[in-house]
Amino acid sequence: MIKAELKTFKITKKYEAAAKQLILEGFLERFGFIDHSLNPDLNNITKTYSLEGSLFLIGFIGEEMVCTGALTKESGDICRLQRMSVKTAFRNRGIARTMVQVLESQAQAEGYKKIVLETHLSWSSAVTLYKSCGYKEYLQEEGMIHLFKSI
């Protein structure tokens, strides 16, 4: 069972390069290219996600990093779910769903009442995942879908 196997941890400097690589490999797979100017937060993950109300988690199965996920403070009691990525070889095994659940629990513990996120409309697997986790659509614009969940 994946949920029992997956161990999540707050990122440390030691794992920054591997987390960045995992995320960028996902972008390369989805887009066919990487625009590094769009991802400045990945150049210093621990600093970027050490701000109050932010959290960047990495997930391991055994000794292998297989996923990432993050929360950032949006405003008041609202946070944003982002940087969700699962290594290709580990997809369709419940890992993303487990990471979403872990991040939702962390958000609740931090006092957040609502989580928002956005993803590309064309990423049907991501849209399906979030909707199956209880996220509701509130906006579509420029090829993006915006979702929220009250927690």
Domain coordinates in residue numbering, the chain: 2-150
Indicate the Cα dihedral angle 97, 101, 53, 70, nearest 10°: -20
Task: Give me the helices (H) in 14-94, please.
Answer: 16-31, 45-48
Taking a C-beta distance cutoff of 8 angstroms, is the pair 147, 131 a contact?
Answer: yes
pTM of the model: 0.92
What's the pLDDT score for residue 1?
A: 46
Domain 2-150 is found in CATH 3.40.630.30: yes
Give the C-alpha distances (Å, rounded to integers) separating 81 from 55, 62, 109, 139. 10, 25, 15, 16
Taking a C-beta distance cutoff of 8 angstroms, is the pair 11, 50 a contact?
Answer: no
Per-residue pLDDT of the chain (151 residues; tens, 9 = 90+): 455 699 999 999 999 999 999 999 988 777 777 787 788 999 999 999 998 889 999 999 999 999 999 999 999 999 999 999 999 999 999 999 999 999 999 999 999 999 999 999 998 999 999 999 999 999 999 999 999 999 9
Of 63, 133, 120, the residue nearest 94 (C-alpha): 133
